[in-house]
Amino acid sequence: MTSAELKSLFHTERFPRGATKIGLVLYFPLGLFLAILRVFIFLHMILICQILPHRSSIRRFVVRVISGVLGFFITIEGNKNDNSAAKLIVSNHISVTDNFLIDLFFPNIAPTEQLPPLFIQLLSKYKQLSSNTSKEELLKEIKKLVQESKIPVLFYPEKTTTNGTTGLLKFSTVPFEMDETIKPVAVQYKRPTCFEVNMTTLESSWLGDIFWCFFVPCTFYKISVLPEVKKKEEESIEELTERVRSSIAKCLNIKTTEFTFSDKIELKKQNQRSVTVTNVSSTPSTSNNKPRVTKPVTIQRVLSNDPVINNMVQQVKTVMPHVPLSAILQDIEKTKDIDLTITNILDGIVQYTPEENDNRKNTDSEQKQKLVCPSTQTFKSSTFGRTSNDRQLSFEERKQAMIEAARRKYKEKHNLS
């Protein structure tokens, strides 16, 4: 599967393109007032959730009414019986409000390694798991929770949110190793055509997602409860996981993919790097014919999150200073090899526009008389130094000669002056 297919699983922008934006601009003053008003109503709902018992039918009724005032209109399809034998609930994940919405119909507790914000915790039950533990210890902790809990345990096997309209990420097998009856749940949302604000984006925060929920007049949620699932005798954990995932995907009318939670994390890193590279590579316009002063750009500004890639790009840039940082970065992330990237640049595989570098021109002119043809250039020392200092100097000279030979080879191949 391609990177484009991975990107299709997430919204990259909050607002859709087209005439809808004009309507949102006109609606903005009213939407802002509505969002502020709903914040105070939301605080009252949190207070009610803390006063009334979690499994109380009165609590659920009152909270559903207040949810309607907040703009959450929820419909449920399938078996609504919350007294079933299923001790596990497995659902897709589209927003930070999912647990709260499912909890209105099926009181549950959600285990997680990273607790959500306090305001979200006060609406539903969460259980924080130990972080940085082995899978065996994690399974043991979850099994204990499932056995001791009087209410079902809710899992999001995707481990992150998607847009819910394209495909499902691969499921974690952890909830399917409990040997318990599973209740699959599929969650969908829809907003009016003139208020098509995306629920989440690739870079969005929980605070932004909640604000836009309060901002738009209403959001329609649909919770589909699928038939309960039990592991068959000769069925493996992986087959059970895929069977449940396929049933949820079929209900949502979307496909299953081979992408994982880690792929989303890597996609976010790539987007951050590309934005940084674009900002570094862009040249500000100058006026009044004043000479442009270019500040030296360090690789750390481009790849501060990855010191290994940072070091590799720096070494390639040292050998070929005329190659833009963005081109080096793009290829080094694929090859993870300095020599291979240099070869790709010399062979023309890496496409780029050479950068002007006065220092490089001066260095080339000074070394022009000293270097022989790269194809006949050798880099061995004629003598063996008697002391370590002599041998170190010899090494540095050979290293410099190799670098200059690589530059000459490139210039000869592409007929550069």
In order, the DSSP letters of 53-99 are: -TT-HHHHHHHHHHHHHTTEEEEEEE---TTSS--EEEE---STTHH
Q: pTM score > 0.85 for this model?
A: no
SS percent in the chain: helix, strand, coil, step 5 = 50, 10, 40
| pLDDT for 312 | 81
Q: How confident is the model over 302-335, as pLDDT tens digits? A: 454 566 777 788 888 888 888 888 888 888 877 7
Average pLDDT on 193-209 reads 88
Question: Chain centroid to CA 376: how far?
Answer: 49
pLDDT at 297 over 70: no
Select from 318, 365, 324, 355 the least CA-distant residue to 338: 318
Amino acid at 309: I
pLDDT at 270 over 50: yes
Portion of the chain with pLDDT greater than 70, in percent = 79
Helix 307-319 with 388-413: angle, nearest 10 deg: 70
Average pLDDT on 164-193 reads 92
pLDDT at 349 over 60: yes
pLDDT at 388 over 70: no
pLDDT at 285 over 60: no
Rg (CA), the chain: 29
Average pLDDT on 372-396 reads 54
Average pLDDT on 199-222 reads 92
Average pLDDT on 249-259 reads 94
pLDDT bucket at 78, cuts 50 / 70 / 90: confident
Asked if 244 contacts 184 with a C-beta cutoff of 8 angstroms, the reply is yes
Amino acid at 51: I
pLDDT bucket at 19, cuts 50 / 70 / 90: low
Q: In Å, how far are 15, 78, 345 from 82, measured between CA atoms?
A: 37, 11, 63
**Residue 269 and residue 416: Cα distance in Å, rounded?**
36
| pLDDT for 389 | 54
182-190 and 219-225 strand pairing = antiparallel
> Diameter of the chain by CA atoms?
92
| pLDDT for 393 | 56
pLDDT bucket at 292, cuts 50 / 70 / 90: very low
| pLDDT for 394 | 63
| pLDDT for 248 | 96
> Would you state the structure tokens that stand for residue 150, as one six-digit string?
């009087």
Task: Please name every residue paired with 77 in a beta bridge, in sequence order, or none if there are none.
Answer: 224
| pLDDT for 395 | 64
Q: How many CB atoms neighbour CB 342 within 10 A? A: 22
Q: Is 78 left (phi over 0), alpha (psi -120 to 50) or beta?
A: left
| pLDDT for 135 | 79
Residue in the block written with tokens 């790097």: 273
| pLDDT for 304 | 40
Select from 157, 132, 153 the least CA-distant residue to 142: 153
pLDDT at 355 over 80: no
Select from 10, 34, 22, 396 the least CA-distant residue to 212: 34
